[in-house]
Amino acid sequence: MEAARTPSLEPESEAETPLRVASLPVVEEGFLDIVASSRIKSGHLTILVNDQVVFENPLLSKRKNIFRKRPEQTFEATIPMAGGTHEIVARLRVDGKPDRYENRVTVEVEPGSTRSLSLFAGRSSDGLLSLELD
C-alpha cells in the first residue's frame, strides 16, 4: 500500500516555478518653478512642500542711498514633485523683528507638467509675503 503524499511547497520541476513580477506604481514627477524676489533688508526665506523643507535662502538687500528703493534680490528654483495635490508654505523671518510671516497655497501638479509660483517678500498690497500661482 502506498503512503499518503504530503503536499510540498517545493515545485517538482523548474517548469512549474511560478514567475513573480512585482507591480509597483509608477510615479511620474511634475515640477514647481519658483521665481522669487525680495526687498527685505536682511532675513531668511524657507519654502516647504507638504511640511518638508525644499528651499532655503538668506535674504540681503543693501540700499545704495536713502533716496532710492531697496534693490530687488531675485532667485529661482525648480522643485521636482510627485503628481497630485501639494501644500506650499513660504515662511519669512526678517532680522530684527520678532514675528515670522507665513503664506500658503495649495497646488495641483499633473505628472509631467510644470507649475509656476511667484513669490514676493517686501512691502506690497498683499502684505509682507505674497504667493501667486500661474
36-45, 57-66, 116-125 — which is least confidently predicted? Answer: 57-66
Report the DSSP beta bridge partners of residue 30.
81
Q: What is the pTM of this model?
A: 0.71
The CATH classification number of 27-133 equals 2.60.40
The amino acid that residue 134 corresponds to is D
Distance CA 123, CA 92 (A): 13
Q: What is the pLDDT of residue 39?
A: 85
Q: What is the pLDDT of residue 46?
A: 92
Q: What is the pLDDT of residue 28?
A: 80
- In the chain, where the domains are located: 27-133
Distance CA 113, CA 111 (A): 6
Closest CA to 79 of 59, 101, 109, 38: 109
* Residue 74: all three cell numbers together: 531675485
Residue 82 scores a pLDDT above 70: yes
